[in-house]
A and B are shown apart, each in its own frame.
Chain A
């Protein structure tokens, strides 16, 4: 069955360092989304990527969708303490059906 793998599971960085989380799917995805969940909160939608090779930026966050539409990454430049939380990717396969979430990467930022 379809799976979305996400690594690393945990990442601890010093404030100002960069951070990257990666998602890989066993099958081609029609789109991929990224969500952020702050400690004690619920997941909040960040962005959706649809096109092969697509790159989108939101301030210090850069999102990429692979050429084969099987992998994606989220990169944060110069992390801040406000970036703390768990980042999830979620992808949909080529057929109608549900989204598949990765396990998430829990980011800790030391001041």
Chain B
């Protein structure tokens, strides 16, 4: 079946512009995560959605970052007034609702963001 998809795959923007990154999780998955990964670095947690619960936004680095998840499915990560330090690969992951596999994360291919 289809995996997690993200769009665009690459985004080049100018400093100060706003960008929107999209994530389509696997159908039926209730949990959705956003991570940021700079070149050669680990995964930096940004935000976590679980069903209808209030999202865990504790990883968002500044108020320029926001995310929403509509209808418990598609999610959009918005970065306002982008800065050069926002350049990174943004990864989305989703997890199934089953008790056994609820923590297994299925990652999308990521969006590579370059801020000039």
Contacts and interface: CB of A to CB of B under 8 A. Distances in A.
Given A88-B43, A98-B45, A101-B42, A43 B105 contact: yes
B48 to A, nearest CB: 4
A106 B37 CA distance: 14
Given A42-B108, A98-B48, A98-B56, A88 B103 contact: no
B103 A33 contact: yes
Nearest to B107: A42
B34 to A, nearest CB: 11
Interface in B13-40: 33, 35, 40
Nearest to A45: B104
A90 to B, nearest CB: 7
B109 interface: yes
Given A42-B110, A97-B56, A48 B42 contact: no
Majority-rule SS of A interface residues? strand
A90 B56 CA distance: 17
A92 interface: yes
Contacts of A85: none
Contacts of A108: none
Interface string B60-79: 00000000000000000000
A100 B105 CA distance: 12
A97 B59 CA distance: 13
A51 B109 CA distance: 31
A99 interface: yes
Nearest to B59: A98
B11 to A, nearest CB: 16
Contacts of B103: 31, 33, 48, 90, 92, 99
Interface string A72-111: 0000000000000000101010001111111110100000
Interface in B90-116: 91, 93, 101, 103-110
Contact of B45 (A33, A43, A88, A101): A101
Interface of B: 33, 35, 40-43, 45, 48, 50, 56, 91, 93, 101, 103-110
